Structure 1
Amino acid sequence: MKGAHAAGAGLRPARLAALDVLRVGAVGLRARRARVVLSALGIAIGIATMVAVVGLSESSRADLMARLDRLGTNLLTAEAGKDPLGQEIRLPKNVAAMVERIGPVQHATATGDVDARIRRSDLVPEERTAGVTTQAVRIDLLDALGGEVARGKWLDRAGERLPVTVLGAVAADRLGITGPGETIMMSDTRVVVVGILRPIELVPNLDRVAMVGFPAAERHFGFDGHPTTVFERSTDASVEDVRAVLARTISPGNEGHVKVSRPSDALAAKAATDEGLTALMLGLGAVALLVGGVGVANTMVISVLERRQEIGLRRSLGATRGAIRLQFLTESLLLSALGGAAGAVLGTAATYGFARVQQWTPVVPPWALAGGLGATLVIGVIAGLYPAVRASRLHPTVALNAT
């Protein structure tokens, strides 16, 4: 007796190999495929949402940064403000030359507001201007702004003195102008359209403008020759230094009434807005992931209730409580991993598809995929812990007698 007792005391329960644990954990998934698909779908939706939100945000931001690099962040704009009496201050006629005297400034140009009503033809009433304004421009404007002509040509030395105009992209669309050679009315003067610009991203208000040369504006439309807006480009490293002295240079003594801005700041602000929206969408994805985790937990609890006889049989054949816990925990992890993998694939595909439609370069950060899959494993552990513990506590006799 003592020998038998000693031999029994030395016995240790066999441990399942990792492959066996996976095989046993997958049994429940194969037996209830429809339920598994529906439970994994909740996890997949949450992960797909999170991956797609991060991917689209990064793709959009990468496109925005590429646009900023292409357009440059060294453009400053200065506009004439109003004095305390509400009168608009007048900038010097040679303001562009004054700005170019600032050491780091590479290029300066100017535009001026012209009081001329724009109509498609003389048959259109004067009050119907189609939302298009007139501005006098220097012929070096496109070089300073990095603008491009879509159709026709830009103003040259001869054209800036003649009653001809170049339309912004929106202005041409509103007036129904499709190409050079057509005419429009500026006040009572018929003007020939010689060109149409592509959209100017840094200065979008110029898209709604009909542009004429400074000499033509003075000769035909009563323009006084005083610019209202100055554009300048300097070296990237000196933008802030130029910004600090630009208003004083443009209007000495009235610098407080000159508004200086950097157009690229608007695009940078857009990136910051996108970050806030991304955080909101990630929150929605986390909620979807949480709902999916609840679905997994529910599936595992029902699985334990339905498989009590199986649990009792395994316990009576020598399976330990730890082995039962490991089986159901593995099943929960496999179920969550299945949903997570499907979600990562769906999120990546959605990112690439939408980015291609928007003509962005698709970007899916590896950390987003790794984080998504890591989140699914955490969800799997949390969702499967209670059902696994509950299954391991079932007494073999009670479990075998369950109906």
Structure 2
Amino acid sequence: MRLGVFGLRTRPTRVLLSALGIAIGIAAMIAVVGISSSSQAALARVLDDLGTNLLQAVPGEDAAGETATLPADGVALLERRDDVEQAAGVGRVTGRNVYRTDLVPEAASGGITLDAVQGDLLEVLQGETVSGGWFAADDLPQVVLGSTAAATLGIGAVDADTRVWIGGRWVAVAGVLAPLPLAPELDSSALVPASGADAAFGFAGRPTRLYARADPTRVVEARDLLAATLDPVDPRRVQVSRPSDALAAQQATESSITALLLGVGGVALLVGGIGVANTMVITVLERRGEVGVRRALGARRRDIRRQFLVESLLLSLAGGAVGVALGCSVTAVFAATQGWPVVIPSWAAAGGLLATVVIGGVSGIHPAGRAARMAPTEALAT
């Protein structure tokens, strides 16, 4: 061990560059695993906060291939079910765009939609306002803006004078919503209460999307029967989904990307291992005189082999330790900037160090064996 440490200390620059190759590979692998795990932990926390018992119903297609409609009393129908705790809905108001002022050209709608709210939508979606508040059912004309809609309109904070132009009239802005992870389609919407929206904006009265909070212990049952509740004649005309499934699919996609990035980190680690092997081969060639003297003084072949193998292992372990520390630091910084919990699996750190041991051993076997096979007279002659 002393000889191994001494051998590394005599060539600090070369050792530093070789260890850096190992460190980059290990840091890349630790950072990829850590960032992915932190992202998944953040997603799990969001799902725990919002719940996975939210169901969503939208119109499907009838036998003729035409888009079906949801019943006007869809919210009431869902609330009658004993496996549904809460229900709400939104209905698209067509032909009405939302503008910041009455001077904006009609074609410049910014993609903001107008939806009439039925039921306690904010409670069902477990949303919250970042500015202002929610409207009461009979507070017309008032509007609550989704996060994307508010950003498009340039509205950050809401006060008593904040208004938008809808359907040829000024409408007071009651509040701005925070992003809705389980209902992102509403982030670009302007929401008005359904009560009175027919007269004010021409709302037809039928919801275009329904949301239901099911009993957490009966989510599957409620999901299977929701379509039949809304359309007993032909349940296939109603499509029922679980928004949390989309987040789970997103998590699976991130896992695939993580596997790809781990492959990239593995390539970097392989390059680092080649650098270590190269360093050790050059070291053996440069130190043939030292090998000859040691052999002449009685060192056995296995002593020489162990010396150079230990140097290779120490070089890889030094790079691995630096790589683990660097990867953990990158993960912590990135997770902190995203507001995620910092999660670094212990197996990733342990696996990184184990990988360096394997790389060090494999990279050092050939150079160490070459040094051990060197005859003392041949070594001293150089």
TM-score interval, smaller chain? over 0.9
Shift of 1:139: 4.6
Aligned pairs for 1:177-188 within 5 A: 177-178=155-156, 179-180=158-159, 181-188=161-168
Q: Which residue of 2 aligns with 1:301?
A: 281
Alpha carbons 1:139, 1:156 under 8 Å: kept: no
The CA distance in 2 between the partners of 1:239 and 1:197, in whole Å, is 27
Q: Which residue of 1 aligns with 2:88?
A: 109
Q: Which residue of 1 aligns with 2:315?
A: 335
Aligned pairs for 1:1-400 within 5 A: 22-115=1-94, 116-159=96-139, 162-178=140-156, 179-180=158-159, 181-400=161-380
Deviations 1:69-125 (A, max 9, x none): 111110000011233445432322211111122221111111111122222222223
Normalised by the length of structure 1, the TM-score is 0.91
Higher Cα radius of gyration: 1
Q: Which residue of 2 aligns with 1:8?
A: none
Alpha carbons 2:89, 2:119 under 8 Å: kept: no
Equivalent residues, number: 379
The CA distance in 1 between the partners of 2:285 and 2:204, in whole Å, is 89
> Amino acid of the residue matched to residue 147 of structure 2?
A
Q: Classify 1:264/1:129 alpha carbon distance in 2 versus 1 (closer, same or farther; 3 Å).
A: same
> Amino acid of the residue matched to residue 327 of structure 2?
G
Shift of 1:216: 2.0
The CA distance in 1 between the partners of 2:70 and 2:268, in whole Å, is 58
Q: Secondary structure at the match of 1:138?
A: strand
Shift of 1:351: 0.9
Alpha carbons 2:137, 2:194 under 8 Å: kept: no
Q: Percent identity?
A: 51
Shift of 1:259: 1.4
Normalised by the length of structure 2, the TM-score is 0.96
The CA distance in 2 between the partners of 1:109 and 1:340, in whole Å, is 55
Shift of 1:126: 2.2
The CA distance in 2 between the partners of 1:87 and 1:216, in whole Å, is 29
The CA distance in 2 between the partners of 1:62 and 1:327, in whole Å, is 45
Shift of 1:205: 1.3
The CA distance in 1 between the partners of 2:362 and 2:353, in whole Å, is 14
Shift of 1:383: 0.5
Shift of 1:152: 1.6
Structure 1's unaligned 5+ residue stretches are 1-21
> Amino acid of the residue matched to residue 381 of structure 1?
G
Alpha carbons 1:139, 1:155 under 8 Å: kept: no
Alpha carbons 2:145, 2:190 under 8 Å: kept: yes
Q: Secondary structure at the match of 1:385?
A: helix
Alpha carbons 2:141, 2:171 under 8 Å: kept: yes
Structure 2's unaligned 5+ residue stretches are none
Q: Secondary structure at the match of 1:106?
A: strand
How well do the aligned residues superpose, as a CA RMSD in angstroms? 1.3
The CA distance in 1 between the partners of 2:339 and 2:325, in whole Å, is 21
Moved more, 36-45 or 150-159: 150-159
Alpha carbons 1:92, 1:227 under 8 Å: kept: yes
Alpha carbons 2:87, 2:119 under 8 Å: kept: no
